[in-house]
Amino acid sequence: MRVHIMAPLAALLPLVRALPLPAQTADGKPPAQVPARTATVQVMVLGVFHFHNPNADYAKFQGIDVLAPNRQREIENVVAQLARYGPTKIAIERVPAEADSINADYQRYQAGTFALTRSELHQLGFRLAIQFHHTQLYPVDFQSGMRIDSVMDYARIHDSAFVTRFNSTVSEVVKLLDRMQREETIGANLRFMNDPANILRAHQPYADMTTVGAGDGYIGARVVGDWYARNLHIFANLASITQPGDRVLLIIGMGHAPILRELIRSHPGMQLVEPLDYLH
């Protein structure tokens, strides 16, 4: 039987696991032990809907007015729950180039001269940061385009079944989240959005999209690859602000959560903290 030298490493792992560990190496020394994972940084990824509803994403939502008195009380309750995590740093979905202007607004908020806007950066980020006397917030976003329209244009000609599935999924999600935002508290919405089962469901359309154009330009795989690349850059920015002992809270759109959570789980120096442990 021919053995392909370039066989994927993953395919060889079951064989490696099945082999008994030697009592000693060829030079008579005990085999080296794999170092135990030592996570020194805790990270909570809080997936959110965009409070100010810019409708910049492919799915368009009606949104709610988070400045309404009842919504403000709901936000205060969420902030009180998240405060139990005790974050040492708060990371936000804005690019690092905006750090100076964001933190200038934060300093004015500390001085009592800045009125919070509808943005989750202000409603959650500023409110939490001031409780813990943070001197700044940390923007970690990375902007890059995700050309979903190009995938849809190709699929309308070559893969109409995907178009039907994708549009149906988007329609169902928009209806569900619009209803939840109207009828449920902001805390209930955040609990729903940070449930691991719902995070997985939110990622499934991307996996489906990768199949569009397989063998013929791979348009789906290339566009989803752009989405992964953006999140890899976000993770790199996030990792760059951490120090041993940090408890980081990342406030970011729910769509980013699946990839970022997996990267945090995989990083040897990080521990993923579940938002549902604090949102009750």
Distance CA 173, CA 145 (A): 22
Residues 6+ apart with CB under 8 A from 247: 41, 42, 44, 85, 86, 87, 88, 89, 273
The number of angstroms, rounded, from the C-alpha of 216 to the middle of its chain's C-alpha atoms is 30
Q: Specify if 83 maps to a domain.
A: yes
Distance CA 141, CA 231 (A): 8
User: What letter represents residue 21's amino acid?
Assistant: L
With contact defined as beta carbons under 8 Å apart, do 242 and 89 qualify?
yes
Q: Specify if 3 maps to a domain.
A: no
Q: Specify if 251 maps to a domain.
A: yes
For the chain, the domain total comes to 1
Look up the domain containing 254 and give its range: 36-280
Residue 231 in tokens: 């999140």
Q: Specify if 4 maps to a domain.
A: no
Q: Distances from the Cα of 126 to the Cαs of 107, 130, 189, 203, 248, in angstroms?
A: 10, 6, 20, 29, 14
Name the average pLDDT for the chain.
88
Which residues share a beta bridge with 46? 251
Which residues share a beta bridge with 44? 249, 273
Q: Specify if 20 maps to a domain.
A: no
pLDDT in tens, 134-175: 999 999 999 987 899 999 999 999 999 999 999 999 999 889
Q: How confident is the model at residue 25 (pLDDT cuts 50, 70, 90)?
A: very low
Asked if the model's pLDDT at residue 90 lies above 70, the reply is yes
pLDDT of residue 84: 98
Q: Distances from the Cα of 31 to the Cαs of 22, 25, 66, 87, in angstroms?
A: 7, 6, 59, 40
pLDDT in tens, 209-220: 999 999 999 999
Asked if the model's pLDDT at residue 9 lies above 60, the reply is no
Q: Specify if 224 maps to a domain.
A: yes
Q: Specify if 14 maps to a domain.
A: no
pLDDT of residue 280: 87
Distance CA 232, CA 234 (A): 5
Tokens 């769509």 locate to: 255
Q: Specify if 43 maps to a domain.
A: yes
pLDDT of residue 145: 79
3-state secondary structure the chain: CCCCCCCCHHHHHHHHHHCCCCCCCCCCCCCCCCCCCCCCEEEEEEEECCCCCCCCCCCCCCCCCCCCHHHHHHHHHHHHHHHCCCCCEEEECCCHHHHHHHHHHHHHHHCCCCCCCCCHHHHHHHHHHHHCCCCCCEECCCCCCCCHHHHHHHHHHHCHHHHHHHHHHHHHHHHHHHHHHHHCCHHHHHHHHCCHHHHHHHHHHHHHHCCCCCCCCCHHHHHHHHHHHHHHHHHHHHHHCCCCCCEEEEEEEHHHHHHHHHHHHHCCCEEEECHHHCCC
pLDDT in tens, 221-265: 999 999 999 999 999 999 999 999 999 999 999 999 999 999 999
